[in-house]
Structure 1
Amino acid sequence: MSTTAKTKKSSSNKWIKGLWKLFVAGLLFVLLFLLSIRFGLWGALPDTKELENPKTKLASEIYSSDAKVLGKMFYQEDRTNSDFEDLPLHLKQALIATEDERFYCHSGIDGRALLRAIIMLGKDGGGSTITQQLAKNLFHREEVNKSNRIIQKLKEWLLSAEIEKRYTKEEIILMYFNTVPYGNSFGIKSASKRYFNKKTIDLKIEEAAVLVGMLKANTYYNPVRNPENAKRRRSVVLKQMKVNDYITQNEYDSLRVLPLVTDHNFVDHNTGTAPYFRSHLTQWMKQWTKNYAAKTGVKYNIYDDGLKIYTTIDSRLQEYAEKAVQNHMKTLQQQFFDETARRNRDPWYGEDENGDLVNDPEYPARMMKRTQRYRSLKKQYKNDQDSIDYYLNKPVRMKLFSWNGEIDTTLSPMDSLKYCKQILHAGFMSFEPQTGHIKAWVGGINHTHFQYDHVNKKATRQVGSTFKPLVYARGLDDDKLQPCEKESTGPVIVEYGNGQEWRPQNSGEVPPEVTFYQGLQQSINTVTARVMKRLGPNSAEVVRQTAGQMGIDESKFEPYPSIALGTMDISVFEMVGAYGTFANGGTFVEPIFVTRIEDKNGNILEDFTPEKNEAIRMQTAYI
């Protein structure tokens, strides 16, 4: 062999050895790189416990007594999990046909799809499998830059392999549908309710195709915001279902031409059924979680831990109650505006030293000083009242409530306050006296504009003559009067304390003499005062005790006999509960609005039953 030939052969062997060395070195580098990712050198991966029990934020759900979802408690993510039986077959088929055709043939990574994505640079679809997307949804929701994208993809590969080892294909599909984002709604259950106002199991094929199509780009293919884009994307999903033999050609031809029909059911904390009740329940639940943690050491987050809160509210009665309040208050509001126009002056009144109504033109200015806007201006301009007044009277864009729809207008803050202070408000609560279950709770007329709840115990108002039945109840209980016994309606003096006297007056003409039954029926002040007089010098104390036994906070009472005319401030919640005593044969049953609380797995955390006590005699309640 010539020297030249030997030299060429030697050079060729060196190239081959060099290539093998380069290949082995590259292989070792890849293996070491994967091992470095696996052992957390590029950021920790979830451990086995996390993989077997992935943590996701779940909104707590509020259920009515008739098994309807009244609403949810969530902070940023409206997420509710589905069960596998909740997923219709065509929904699963639409997902597989569109996102991962060989889902049942790979173990987390689809080599063919990955190679296609690399060659086509992603133009003909990505290479991520459903399992890889699940890994991203569960553990890598954070944004990444281009330099970290490769590392994240490798992490997803490793996680996908681990997920495939631990879960069946059906479990992976379920977990995927429970974690996919739809804007600020997460999971197919929330999306079905939001866009089609129905349960997931009731989705039609074309509706399932819309929701699967949204996964490519939530906003761009949103059926409410961009219906044409959503319809085109729906056709793509339906075509993939046809290609994969999940639907026939005839089905495809008929489904793709159907109009896109949605039933948008966007519900926030201000809309939907029972918004005032849900708001009150949220605050109540926050206190409950603190109490539960103190007792058990277990902490729950009402926004993240998927609690199930079963309430006493009946969704049907709640809707009737809200409609009744709306109709009644709309009528009263118009009557108020008509009367104000007839008088041709602002309806600001106060009381003078004699208790008579007098005009109070300074009322709006006083109310303005209680607002956050005034406090902010005061902080900014100190004692420069001219600047403060300037901005309070400067027109700005705003939206105001009206019974004929929201008003988008330009108005000064002072004028808007004057308008809003003329809006009439109401609180409504109904409950079942025998069980204590609150069936309807309407805290106001519009939670978006007026969030003050007029029902809960902190929302007190002077109750006036509605308190008189409790006074008569004590008189009957102590055998101080009989319903048919006659009594004078003339002037009366009730002594109390150290020789002090109370001299009530009637508000209009009354007969000279009536029975006690008629005195209550006609709400005659002097007859009620005579009941107090018969109860003795400690009448205010004994009436306070009766009210306390009927569920009213006794600290709200002053030690004066004038409480007989309802001079104290009591909440709607307490008054309704007290009146329930009469309907329940003298037994007071504490009003409750929650029957039980469960964790996300259905384990009962606490049951609730109302407290009961014999407040008055059955005979008294009947009379």
Structure 2
Amino acid sequence: MAKAKQKKQKGFFTYIKWFWILFGSGLFLIILVFLLASWGAFGEMPTFERLENPQTNLATEFISSDGQTLGKLYLDDNRTPVSYKKLPENLVNALVATEDARYYSHSGIDARGTIRAFAYLGSKGGASTISQQLARQLFVGIRAKDWTKYTQKIKEWVIAIRLERNYTKEEIIAMYLNIYDFGYAADGIRSAARIYFGKEPAELKIEESAVLVGMLKNSSLYNPLRREELVLNRRNTVLGQMAKYGYITEMEKDSLQKLKMDINFNPESHREGLATYFRMYMQRWLNKWVKENPKPDGEKYNIYLDGLKIYTTIDSRMQKNAEDAVQAHMKNLQAEFFHQNTLKRNPTAPFLDLTKGAIDTIMRRAMKQSDRWRSMAKEGKTEKEIKDSFHKKTEMTVFDWNSDSYEKDTIMTPMDSIRYYKTFLRTAMMSMEPQTGHVKAWVGGVDYKHFQYDNVNQGARQAGSTFKPFVYAAAIDQLRYSPCDSLPDNQYCIEPLKHGNPEAWCPKNSNGKYSGEDLTLKNALANSVNTVTAQLIDKVGPRSVVAIARNMGLTREIPEVPSIALGTPDFNVFEMVGAYGTFANQGVYVKPVTVTRIEDKNGTVLYEYVPETKDVLSKDVAYAMVNLMEGVTQYGSGGRLRHSFAKEQTVYKEIITGYPYELTNPIAGKTGTTQNQSDGWFMGMVPNLVTGVWVGGDNRSVHFSSLTYGQGASMALPIWGLYMKKNYENEELGISKDAFEEPENMSINVDCTKALKKLKEELDTEDDLEDVGF
């Protein structure tokens, strides 16, 4: 019996021994596997440095002066990280409840969940913790399907543990939400919140956070735009998990689950969103800046990957007002243009006054400048093959004002599409604070997706009568003229060879008539009387006018000939707004600026703007010019900003969107119309905002046939009026309604009532007063 007992004890100890041998061997094997994984036996592992600074592609962000994101620049990853502090509590709770309920109690691996996953072969859920999922996103990549999925899982475990050692729980959550791809270029939680709900992450409601957390399972499958019912059910599952773990009550869960998904889709692409033309201008500006400002190690900043923050001068509210004003007016104006340019009314539509040969030349030039021509030429296609392709019908999406999306699908030849796009009027608008040069709004066209040429900065067209104030400024500055001085409205000729003119120059007024009356300078500018402008440039000489224009920021070529007085040189809206800002800023030119500061992803300041200014005019001359241009809106071509339409003007009232504007505050401005109504301009100023608008065709031969619709007061001024009307509705913008500041000891007489009184004493009847232009 004793022997049996001994044998039994021996057998027991043998079992114990083997148990510990097997246990130790298993433990050793696990440790060995982890060591092998950490040594890179199962594939490259991240270094300590990479763990400390995981590399993710970060989009460059454009930030408005009022703190809103205007848009981003990126290649593949539209990612802008946010800190844990900026994540709403309900989002974090939803994440933990759904993805890793024991997140705060483990160190990267959930042992309980792992054992359950092994025991039930994953049928009751996996065991990937948030840390493991982050490890996969950052360093492991797409989940493998062959035997390597096991070594991949081991790598995830090792990296997860390392992440837990290097980062706090809060940092890991932020990193995970910042790196996840939610689809539709929604890389990271900030992009996802903006794209799917049109708001910042901190503004997300519980049910909205639940939608985004639900997408973490598989953003392609749980896509709220394509599988609404599936995503709704997944959202309700997340809400159920939040109730299960006590983050919300059962009553809250039931209430939230009954809500519909309120998806507010706002795609973020280079061709969509707010300030598209401005953002593309900034892309060109940044490309130049990074070449001239390398990193400390000599490398260039990557504007698509390095997460730069560009603090711009644009005010998102004013930008929205500007875009709304452009769309509202241009849609109506375009409808009238289409009405006048049917093939029945105009066989050469949309071109006017051109022969077939001239039109063919324009079309061939446009064909060779097209993207289709360039891409086919790159492919090695012959010129004949390329030309033939332009006459084959194909499916395409084109711009259409009458569609809700401003697009329609159609079938036409590429050549017909070129002609179709020629029919659309183009526009440009820029608004600037004259005291600082800060550009507040920038609209380069009617729709960037279909019209990518930026008419604010890239385009240049004849300025027409908007150039006349530079002639008047030279006369007031050099000859000390007053707005109240007068000149006769008679035919006026500048002799041949005078001022470098090869032949006599005898400009006519726009109506072809001469009143024979003496007109004050204020009246003459208000009504764009060409004969008076010709007299002024004859007195001061073209060279003086060119010098003043150059000092006010007009850098394009200006020939020193008298005809420039009527605005024959080409300028763009960017330059013209900067120049007019000199008048509003008491004679000091401030170069327009669009960027105030650039920071890297860590907040280090890389660039700060230094204003570029120049004293051009005395305060007296600048104020006299403002006073002159106030006459334009008081009783001149800009008067419709204040008054109701006269009966004879109601013929085109329907195109003047937002009319009557009935603006009662002081406004200085100037309209401009070029030959054949090819260009319509309006430059408008209040004390702290200068805005320029241009409207015209892609070619000068695309225009209205008469001044009724083709003048600056009809084409461009309404955009300014609607924009300012919208600005004044928002008092937070602080747009001035005050009078322009008059300098102390003003040396130039701007009170024409004094001149009127003196003149009245010299004249016999009141009728004579009308003859002198008062």
Q: TM-score, normalised by structure 2?
A: 0.72
Instruction: Specify the alignment match of 2:397 in structure 1.
Output: 399
Deviates more, 1:22-31 or 1:174-183: 22-31
Instruction: Specify the alignment match of 2:554 in structure 1.
Output: 552
1:449 equivalenced with 2:450 (yes/no): yes
CA contact (8 A) 1:271 1:447 kept: yes
CA contact (8 A) 2:63 2:312 kept: yes
Q: Which whole-Å CA distance do the structure 1 matches of 2:115 and 2:374 have between them?
A: 64
Q: CA deviation at 1:18?
A: 9.5
**SS at structure 2 position matched to 1:453:** coil
The aligned amino acid for 1:451 is Q
**SS at structure 1 position matched to 2:192:** helix
Q: CA deviation at 1:218?
A: 0.3
**SS at structure 1 position matched to 2:70:** strand
Q: Which whole-Å CA distance do the structure 2 matches of 1:294 and 1:493 have between them?
A: 58
Q: CA deviation at 1:161?
A: 1.2
Q: CA deviation at 1:107?
A: 0.9
Instruction: Specify the alignment match of 1:486 in structure 2.
Output: 487
CA contact (8 A) 2:91 2:206 kept: yes
**SS at structure 2 position matched to 1:181:** coil
Q: CA deviation at 1:335?
A: 1.6
Q: Which whole-Å CA distance do the structure 1 matches of 2:501 and 2:302 have between them?
A: 57
The aligned amino acid for 1:227 is E
The aligned amino acid for 1:589 is V
What is the percentage of aligned positions where both structures have the same residue? 45
Q: Which whole-Å CA distance do the structure 2 matches of 1:124 and 1:400 have between them?
A: 52
**SS at structure 2 position matched to 1:337:** helix
**SS at structure 1 position matched to 2:62:** strand
Q: CA deviation at 1:112?
A: 1.7
Instruction: Specify the alignment match of 2:567 in structure 1.
Output: 566
Q: Which whole-Å CA distance do the structure 1 matches of 2:161 and 2:368 have between them?
A: 64
Q: Which whole-Å CA distance do the structure 2 matches of 1:375 and 1:196 have between them?
A: 39
**SS at structure 2 position matched to 1:281:** helix
Q: Which whole-Å CA distance do the structure 2 matches of 1:424 and 1:573 have between them?
A: 19
Aligned length: 608
Q: CA deviation at 1:110?
A: 1.0
CA contact (8 A) 2:60 2:305 kept: yes
Instruction: Specify the alignment match of 2:44 in structure 1.
Output: 44
1:259 equivalenced with 2:260 (yes/no): yes
Q: CA deviation at 1:574?
A: 0.1
Q: Say if 1:479 and 1:499 are closer, same or farther in 2 by CA, change over 3 A.
A: closer
Instruction: Specify the alignment match of 1:344 in structure 2.
Output: 346
Q: CA deviation at 1:403?
A: 1.2
CA contact (8 A) 1:312 1:437 kept: yes
Q: Say if 1:447 and 1:107 are closer, same or farther in 2 by CA, change over 3 A.
A: same
Q: String of CA shifts for 1:190-241, please: whole Å, max 9, x gaps.
A: 2122222223223222222111111101021122221111111122212222
Q: Say if 1:15 and 1:452 are closer, same or farther in 2 by CA, change over 3 A.
A: same
Q: Which whole-Å CA distance do the structure 2 matches of 1:260 and 1:604 have between them?
A: 41
Task: Write the mapping of 1:409-558 to structure 2, written as runs, cut at 5 A.
Answer: 409-456=410-457, 458-479=458-479, 481-483=481-483, 484-487=485-488, 489-494=490-495, 495-496=497-498, 500-506=502-508, 507=510, 508-515=512-519, 516-536=521-541, 539=542, 541-553=543-555, 555-558=556-559
1:276 equivalenced with 2:277 (yes/no): yes
Q: Which whole-Å CA distance do the structure 2 matches of 1:272 and 1:620 have between them?
A: 42
CA contact (8 A) 1:210 1:230 kept: yes
Q: Say if 1:418 and 1:42 are closer, same or farther in 2 by CA, change over 3 A.
A: same
Q: TM-score, normalised by structure 1?
A: 0.89
Q: Which whole-Å CA distance do the structure 2 matches of 1:138 and 1:310 have between them?
A: 29
Q: Say if 1:559 and 1:143 are closer, same or farther in 2 by CA, change over 3 A.
A: farther
**SS at structure 2 position matched to 1:595:** strand
Task: Write the mapping of 1:89-168 to structure 2, written as runs, cut at 5 A.
Answer: 89-141=89-141, 144=144, 146-168=146-168
Q: Say if 1:248 and 1:371 are closer, same or farther in 2 by CA, change over 3 A.
A: closer
**SS at structure 2 position matched to 1:216:** coil
CA contact (8 A) 2:334 2:424 kept: yes
The aligned amino acid for 2:529 is I
Q: Which whole-Å CA distance do the structure 1 matches of 2:347 and 2:591 have between them?
A: 45
Instruction: Specify the alignment match of 2:613 in structure 1.
Output: 612
Q: CA deviation at 1:182?
A: 0.8
Q: CA deviation at 1:599?
A: 2.4
Q: CA deviation at 1:412?
A: 1.4
Q: Say if 1:257 and 1:455 are closer, same or farther in 2 by CA, change over 3 A.
A: same
Q: Which whole-Å CA distance do the structure 2 matches of 1:391 and 1:589 have between them?
A: 50
Q: Which whole-Å CA distance do the structure 1 matches of 2:365 and 2:105 have between them?
A: 74
Instruction: Specify the alignment match of 2:322 in structure 1.
Output: 321
Q: Say if 1:123 and 1:510 are closer, same or farther in 2 by CA, change over 3 A.
A: farther
CA contact (8 A) 1:455 1:573 kept: yes
Q: String of CA shifts for 1:369-404, please: whole Å, max 9, x gaps.
A: 3323345667766364xx655432222111111211
CA contact (8 A) 2:136 2:142 kept: no
Q: CA deviation at 1:126?
A: 1.4
**SS at structure 1 position matched to 2:467:** helix
**SS at structure 1 position matched to 2:579:** helix
Instruction: Specify the alignment match of 2:180 in structure 1.
Output: 180
Q: Say if 1:296 and 1:608 are closer, same or farther in 2 by CA, change over 3 A.
A: farther
Q: What stretches of structure 2 of length at least 5 have no aligned partner?
A: 1-8, 625-774
CA contact (8 A) 2:442 2:456 kept: yes
Q: Which whole-Å CA distance do the structure 1 matches of 2:431 and 2:89 have between them?
A: 43
Instruction: Specify the alignment match of 1:3 in structure 2.
Output: none
Q: Say if 1:383 and 1:400 are closer, same or farther in 2 by CA, change over 3 A.
A: closer
Q: Say if 1:345 and 1:37 are closer, same or farther in 2 by CA, change over 3 A.
A: same
Q: String of CA shifts for 1:41-63, please: whole Å, max 9, x gaps.
A: 44432222222222222222222
The aligned amino acid for 1:109 is I
